[in-house]
A and B are shown apart, each in its own frame.
Chain A
Amino acid sequence: MLRRTLLASAAATAMLGGLAHADGHAPVKVGFVYVGPIGDGGWTYEHDKGRLAVEAEFGDAVETVFVESVPEGPDAERVMTQMALEGADLIFTTSFGYMDPTINVAANFPDVAFEHATGYKQADNVSVYSARFYEGRAVQGHIAGQITESNVIGYIASFPIPEVIRGINSAYIHAKEVNPDVEFKIIWAYTWFDPAKEAEAANVLIEQGADVILQHTDSTAPQAAAAAANDAGATVYTFGQASDMGEFAPMPRVSSIIDDWAPYYIARTQAVMDGTWESTSTWDGIGAGMVGIGEISDAIPAEVKASAEDMVARLASGEYHAFTGPINKQDGSVWLAEGETASDYGDDGLAGLNFYVEGLTAEVPQ
């Protein structure tokens, strides 16, 4: 009980800060909790670019703070509480594992707005937002299936959560579509950011014959590993993840998925300033600009590039859905009938996707 009253009075102080702002005195304070270091070159780097965009947009009217490399658990809860106590009006918690901590802390600070990335638990003062990365994965699979010589595509996965499984399925479906002989080798790194582990995974995949490496981890280590293999005479292609990773273009990095959070972060900060912020669930893709496809380099054949760009355009316009039937589940049962597209929620919906599609030989780790 003690904590509740103390926190309530602190929240009241924070609210006074908010009122002061309405008079034009104090800037709106926006906090960011990061799971990796801002220099990871991938996921956290892009979130931090979003933070900098907020600063650039609002100048003195906004103050941003961040804490990097926060473990997902009690530490995250402490860091969020700390930000709220120090007067943050809006807090972005940018990793799936921050879900329960965000909900817990938000309950103590009803006047602070929270935004949790990639989760599914909402509250009156907790919004959720994510990007349809699987649209980008479709493009990667489409390219990978055509450029592979060995027909073995390596995939460095992080954690077996729906977001990652969606990506694997989407890449596989579109690789298979253009190359029926394609085979996926998947390594689970159980980390979002660990350059040593990621490099090791990339090397193992290359040794096992993979000549295209897709990654769902955040560092550039797999890119560097592929570049080193190419220097030694191999031909290995990679795709940038979360960030463009353009320093590895044109080879091995032939394209990338870019998370562009800046417009969303600016809009949400604006909403807090205007007093119009409310709890929402946002899931945007290529069309809305939240998912960007990094420039497709000339290291791949022109016709492959052209058909990939055509797919990007069709995904962006909504003309094509990345999960369009007929698609069977791994066990052979029907997931999507001919022409049917996957729904976001509900049974077998994309939000909670936890099974592979037919053709993938590995098993989802249990």
Chain B
Amino acid sequence: MIALEKRPQPSAFWSYAAPLVAVILTMIFGAALFAALGKPPLEALSKIFWEPLFGEFSFFYLPQLLVKGAPLVAIALGLSLGFKAGIWNIGAEGQYIIGAICGAAVALAMYPSEARWLVFPAMLIAGAFGGFAWAMIPGILRVKFGTNEILVSLMLVYVAEQLLASMALGAMKNPEGMGFPGSRNMSQMDAATSWISQSNGMHWGVVIALIAVIFAYILFARHILGFQIKLAGQAPRAAAFSGVNPARLILFCLGTSGALAGIAGLTEVSGPAGIVSIDFNVGYGFTAIIVAFLGRLHPVGILLAGGLMALTYIGGDIAQSSLGLPGAAIQVFQGFLLFALLAVDVLTNYRVRLVQRGAA
């Protein structure tokens, strides 16, 4: 009989090995799935993992990897702060939307100003503040009234989506758009675009995500606040005794993740997306939760996990068009990654033992 025995300490080996094993398991599972669908399994895997990086058209796909990965990394980093401390912000998608709306509001209000030195920084501040403010709602409700931040932040996603639709159809509608919904295209405004070099996939969202990785790394490695976050998550009572202010911690974690999500939304709407449209959000805020855990809530891990996730999106689309793989198969494949990770994660905290029946 197989039994699970709790480890006295989480295994350091498995906490690093688990994501790798999960990726390998996912590949094996994916190969079996694709084979069952009658597609060449190895070719499908190489289309997903190899083609975007080293294939004939990698000059186009590599920059796309930055575009697709940047919002995932930025949002996941913010989420990881709270997740470490046991503060569950599930509504990053909403904060992402509100950040985009606030930043776009500044850009559209100042149009056709050409003062980039003024417009773009103002957009960044507005975007960050929008995400921050939206995350403060569950934060303050939790601190003042003890509400559950998981539910409140999640519900606010749907409120944000309604606001987004209303903006795209009303206040922010392009006056020259013949009555169709959607704002003016900000990626074409020199003063407001977040693009630095479109051909290289570089926009300010990418830069900020990378800077955030460094800051998060320093925070956890060097700063007392990083220590307090970890302590609050692992031993709340010990944290209380050592003088950690839980209310301040909750507001800090939610606020920071909201601001990062807001910036990700703003840089997306003024660059790759270009316009405030009804379905501007495509689920980065939710996928980032997977990225945060796949990256072990570690800044460098999140950077790698964000890249991997972006790779499966881009490679998945390539596999669809070149091999005729169904889109749903790609989604199952991506979903299995989290599933495998959670399954393998058991080994971090538990040891597998073969026990003789009845011996216990």
A interface with B by C-beta (< 8 Å):
1-4, 6-7, 10, 31, 37-38, 65-75, 77-79, 81-83, 85-86, 96-97, 100, 120, 159-162, 190-191, 351-354, 365-366
Contact = CB atoms under 8 A, between A and B. Distances in A.
Given A2-B200, A71-B279, A162-B180, A82 B318 contact: yes
Nearest to B64: A78
B359 to A, nearest CB: 49
Interface string B48-63: 0000000001011101
Given A65-B322, A74-B272, A353-B179, A190 B200 contact: no
Given A73-B277, A74-B273, A190-B161, A67 B317 contact: yes
A71 B327 contact: no
Contacts of A37: 326-328
A66 B181 contact: no
Nearest to A88: B321
Nearest to B57: A85
Nearest to A72: B279
28 contacts: A6-B59, A31-B321, A37-B327, A65-B321, A71-B279, A72-B277, A73-B273, A73-B277, A73-B279, A73-B280, A74-B273, A75-B282, A78-B67, A78-B314, A78-B317, A82-B57, A82-B317, A82-B318, A86-B322, A100-B185, A100-B275, A161-B180, A190-B278, A354-B179, A365-B165, A365-B166, A365-B170, A366-B166
Contact of B169 (A10, A70, A120, A160): A160
B2 interface: no
B317 A1 contact: no
A308 to B, nearest CB: 31
Contacts of B360: none
Contacts of A65: 321-322, 324
Nearest to B179: A354
B321 A67 contact: yes
Given A37-B327, A82-B317, A7 B279 contact: no
Given A86-B322, A100-B275, 14 more contacts: A3-B198, A6-B60, A73-B272, A73-B277, A74-B272, A75-B317, A77-B272, A78-B68, A78-B317, A79-B321, A82-B57, A82-B318, A120-B180, A351-B178
Contact of A82 (B180, B272, B321): B321
A71 B180 CA distance: 18
10 shortest interchain CB distances as A-B pairs:
A3-B199, A74-B272, A354-B179, A366-B170, A68-B327, A71-B282, A65-B321, A2-B199, A352-B178, A352-B179
B274 interface: yes
B172 to A, nearest CB: 11
A97 B170 contact: no
Contacts of B57: 10, 82, 85-86
A7 to B, nearest CB: 7
Interface in B260-309: 268, 272-275, 277-280, 282
B320 interface: yes
Contacts of A3: 60, 63, 198-200
Nearest to B328: A37
Interface residues of B, number: 43
A72 B198 CA distance: 19
Contact of A4 (B63, B185, B199, B314): B199
Contacts of B67: 74, 78
Given A2-B199, A10-B57, A162 B279 contact: no
B125 to A, nearest CB: 24
Interface string B147-183: 0000000000000010001100110000000111100
A77 B313 CA distance: 14
A81 B170 CA distance: 31
A159 B278 contact: yes
A97 B161 CA distance: 17
Contacts of A83: 321
Given A69-B327, A365-B165, A97 B279 contact: yes
A132 B185 CA distance: 29
A66 B60 CA distance: 19
A67 B64 CA distance: 17
Contacts of A366: 166, 169-170
A131 B199 CA distance: 36
B282 A162 contact: no
Contacts of A85: 57, 60
B274 A68 contact: no
Contacts of B274: 100
Contacts of B280: 73
The interface centre, meaning the residue of A6, A67, A190, A366 with most chain B CB atoms within 10 A of its CB, is A67
The interface centre, meaning the residue of A38, A69, A352, A353 with most chain B CB atoms within 10 A of its CB, is A69
B320 A66 contact: yes
A10 B59 CA distance: 10
A73 B64 CA distance: 13
Contacts of B326: 37-38, 68
B277 to A, nearest CB: 7
A4 B169 CA distance: 34
Interface in B178-194: 178-181, 185
Contacts of B273: 73-74
A35 to B, nearest CB: 10
A174 B56 CA distance: 56
Contacts of A74: 67-68, 268, 272-273
Given A68-B327, A159-B278, A365-B166, A81 B60 contact: yes
Nearest to A192: B279
A97 B280 CA distance: 10
Nearest to A85: B57
A4 B199 CA distance: 8
Contacts of A82: 57, 60-61, 317-318, 321
A288 to B, nearest CB: 24
B310 to A, nearest CB: 11
A78 B277 CA distance: 18
Nearest to B56: A85
B321 A86 contact: yes
A191 B282 CA distance: 12
B169 A365 contact: yes
Contacts of A351: 178
Nearest to B282: A71
Nearest to A119: B180
Nearest to A101: B274
